[in-house]
Structure 1
Amino acid sequence: MIRYTKQGTGKPIIFLHGFCETKEMWKTFSDQLANNFTIYCLDLPGFGESGLASKQISLEEVAVIIHDWMEEQKIQQPTIIGHSLGGYVALAMAELLGSELAGIGLFHSTAFADDEEKKHTRNKTIAFIKKHGVEKFIESFVPPLFAAQHQERLEEEITTLIQYGKKTAMETVLAYIETMRDRKDRFEVWKTFGGAKLMIAGTLDPAISIKASQQHKPYTTSYYELNGVGHMGMFEERESCLKIIKAFLTPQ
């Protein structure tokens, strides 16, 4: 069962959160954009209030689950904007649905698969969580996602994200680390998708290198780099990101 919020009227926009996040992270964006669009913010299966039926999940399975939910809600031609893991899901949906989507947005995300170094890091993370638990992992995982110069200013937001993240079941955390590690390269999907394409990248993103993001630029409708921003631009540069997304959703 997919849990979600819905605000506003107009063409449908679906926001997908990242790893160990929840739909609540998009509240400011939903509030601001609901004057012009119908905004759906989802909890991905296993996160927040959405259940996970299995100990294993693939991005392809998540895409099918969300597509089924879209049909239940009678949502047609949505634009899907995903943060990090949410971007991986958006790409899987673009591969599945093609022209049934009006557009996709990668918000600190990538179409590339993990390289060997990243896979090694994922495996170390799995071992750490099995030994120390989810709570200790979340406490160490969330703060470095923000560029150092923003951490003190955004201490309250970081604390809230940690609190939500700690509620995630270990089975969910491990399942998604494995599916991110093993996901296939979808750069060709990004290149050939016929709808509008947005990419927002942080020059100091510790999870998605700016060099990797720049390789997407030639195939991107709207490409933006946030200087001095880490992996959490929706908090680190909230107003800039809102303007970027509004412009992307209302092309001249």
Structure 2
Amino acid sequence: MIAYTQQGSGPALILIHGFCESKEMWKTFAADLSTNHTVYCPDLPGFGESPLADHHISMEKAAVSLQEWIEEQGISNPIVIGHSLGGYVTLALAELMDHGLKAIGLFHSTAFPDDEEKKHNRNKTIEFIKKHGVDKFVESFVPPLFSEQHRAEQNGQIAELIQFGKKSSKNGMITFTAAMRDRKDRFELWKTFPFPKLMIAGELDTAVKIEASRKHQPYAMHYHELIGTGHMGMFEETDTTLQIIKNFLKDVEK
């Protein structure tokens, strides 16, 4: 079962949250973008209000769950934009549905797989969650996602995201960490996906290095770097990123 919110009318837009996040993170974006689109914000299995039925997950399995949900809702030819983990799932969904998506967007995400250093860090994350649990991990995980210069002004938002993150299931966090570690390289898919593509990158993003993001630029219809911004541009630069998405949607719908 996929829990979700639905708002507005018009062409379908699906916003997919990242790791330790939930559909609530998109509430400002969904309210604004619903003027011209039907905006769907699902909870990935194991996060928010969506249960994880299996003890193993992969990007491919998550994509199958979303495809089944899309079909159940009668959603046709959606635009899909994913944040971080949500971007990995978006790419897997694009591979699965092929021409069934109108456009895709990576919001602080990448088509590249984890390198060895990142895989090592994922393994440390799994051990930390097993030992200390969800709450302690989320409290340490969320603040560094914001660039240091934005953290103080975003204290209230960080606190809210921590509360949302604590709704994540322990098994969901562990299995998705392993799934991110083991995900395959989809850069060739990014290059060859025949429909419009959006990339939003943060100059100071410690989760997705800006050098990696720049390699996606030649294949994107819209590519944007947010100066002085970390991994959470939808909060650090709300007005700017909202306008970027609106401009992309406008071009997609031409």
User: Which TM class, normalised by the smaller chain length?
Assistant: over 0.9
Structure 1's consecutive aligned runs of 4 or more residues displaced over 4 angstroms after TM superposition are none
Q: Name 1:105's counterpart in structure 2.
A: 105
Q: Name 1:246's counterpart in structure 2.
A: 246
TM-score computed with the length of structure 1 as normaliser: 0.99
1:155 aligns with 2:188: no
Q: Name 1:76's counterpart in structure 2.
A: 76
1:196 aligned partner, one-letter code: P
Q: Name 1:206's counterpart in structure 2.
A: 206
Q: Deviations over 1:165-188 (max 9, x none)?
A: 112111111000000000000001
RMSD of equivalent CA atoms: 0.7
Q: Name 2:93's counterpart in structure 1.
A: 93
TM-score computed with the length of structure 2 as normaliser: 0.98
1:26 aligns with 2:26: yes
Structure 1 CA distance for aligned equivalents of residues 26 and 66 of structure 2: 18
Q: Name 2:142's counterpart in structure 1.
A: 142
Q: Name 2:235's counterpart in structure 1.
A: 235
Q: Name 2:172's counterpart in structure 1.
A: 172
Q: Secondary structure at the match of 1:139?
A: helix
User: CA shift at 1:126, angstroms?
Assistant: 1.0
Q: Name 1:192's counterpart in structure 2.
A: 192
1:184 aligned partner, one-letter code: K
Q: Deviations over 1:130-149 (max 9, x none)?
A: 11111111111000000011
User: CA shift at 1:109, angstroms?
Assistant: 0.1
2:233 aligned partner, one-letter code: G
1:119 aligns with 2:108: no
Q: Deviations over 1:45-84 (max 9, x none)?
A: 1111111101111110111111111111111110000000
Counting matched residue pairs gives 252
Which 5+ residue runs of structure 1 have no aligned equivalent?
none
Q: Name 1:35's counterpart in structure 2.
A: 35
Q: Quick check: 1:98–1:194 contact (8 Å CA) kept in 2?
A: no
Structure 2 CA distance for aligned equivalents of residues 68 and 168 of structure 1: 22
Structure 2 CA distance for aligned equivalents of residues 51 and 130 of structure 1: 19
User: CA shift at 1:204, angstroms?
Assistant: 0.1
Identity of aligned residues (%): 61
